[in-house]
Structure 1
Amino acid sequence: MVFGSRSGVEVRTALPADTLEIAGLLRQLGLCVEQRQVAERVERVLGDPSGTVLVATAWNGAVSALIALHWNSVLQADRPVAQITALVVDEAERRNGIGRLLIKAASQAARTAGCDQLTIATEQECDDLASFCETLGFTAANRGFVRSLRKRPRSGAT
């Protein structure tokens, strides 16, 4: 499924053929995983109706970024909450709007799944991530960031 495109970048659901490039992106996060492991994990996530893996591809089809998210019901909310469990843009492609495009596509997928919130959990302080999240409308929360998926009423609207 294609979620959108901009400036030659397309966001779509990950495919088995993407696993070598996904493994390379995960290494940029400090995760040492083999292509076989990535293939199994991507297949497992995509086979689960409560999650998805999306990739951004360049005009030549090369995977330049990925986002993985899962949603589930929680006691603290009436509707499911979506959590971003992985987000990485290739170092050479950062600051080109690809992360923003992935967040937009993830938000669309989460809304389709009935979610009202999108969260990003973090293990440590990261000023770049905090700045990125705040720019996109997330607010700081306990060990991460959260953003409502409901549209805000326009100012002056009744």
Structure 2
Amino acid sequence: MIEIRACTPDDAVAVSTLLGELGYIVSIRQATEHVRELSKTGADPIFLAAADGQILGLLAAHLCRMLQYATPVMRVTALVVDRRARRRGVGKLLMERAEQIGSAAGCEFVELTSAMDRAEAHAFYRSIGYEPNSLRFRKPLVRQYPR
């Protein structure tokens, strides 16, 4: 049985590995710090899907207020399922948890972005009721200060 549970800093190895499947290079140290920081307010839920002691997937989200909407927005900021666990309902369970959290927070919808080349992800999102409705633009910024 697949369990959806809150992510903790102790899950940093799994977080780093799963984000690597999306092409993000996040060290275990960074993952630990990010999970710890994002977990402080409750506005940035992070969930893991697990079965038989194995981490199968991750979902991170952000609850935010936007000037143009009367209610909060639940934005999924990361969703990844281990390649070996895909097509087993893991992603759907993670998205359902995000929808439950969003609904409980008074959100009218959940939104997410997906890279244009992720056709399989787009098909998945459509299969669970999501439709494209906007185009995201992005411009890299030059760092003004050292990290």
Structure with higher strand content: 1
Q: Report deviation, 1:124.
A: 2.1
* Unaligned stretches of 5+ residues in structure 2: 137-147
1:46-125 mapped onto 2 (5 Å cutoff): 46-59=39-52, 61-125=53-117
Runs of 4+ in 1 over 6 A off after TM superposition: none
Q: Report deviation, 1:91.
A: 0.5
Matching residue of 1:34 = 27
| Alpha-carbon separation, structure 1, partners of 2:135 and 2:90 | 24
Does the 8 A contact of 1:54 with 1:68 survive in 2? yes
Q: Per-residue displacement from partner, 1:75-114 (whole Å, max 9, x unpaired)?
A: 2221001110000000000011100000001111111222
| Alpha-carbon separation, structure 2, partners of 1:106 and 1:122 | 16
1:117-136 mapped onto 2 (5 Å cutoff): 117-136=109-128
Q: Report deviation, 1:126.
A: 2.4
| Alpha-carbon separation, structure 1, partners of 2:40 and 2:104 | 17
Q: How many residues align?
A: 136
Does the 8 A contact of 2:48 with 2:58 survive in 1? yes
% same residue: 31
| TM-score w.r.t. length of structure 1 | 0.81
| Alpha-carbon separation, structure 1, partners of 2:29 and 2:135 | 31
Output the amino acid matched with 1:46: S
| Alpha-carbon separation, structure 2, partners of 1:49 and 1:93 | 28
* Unaligned stretches of 5+ residues in structure 1: 1-7, 145-158
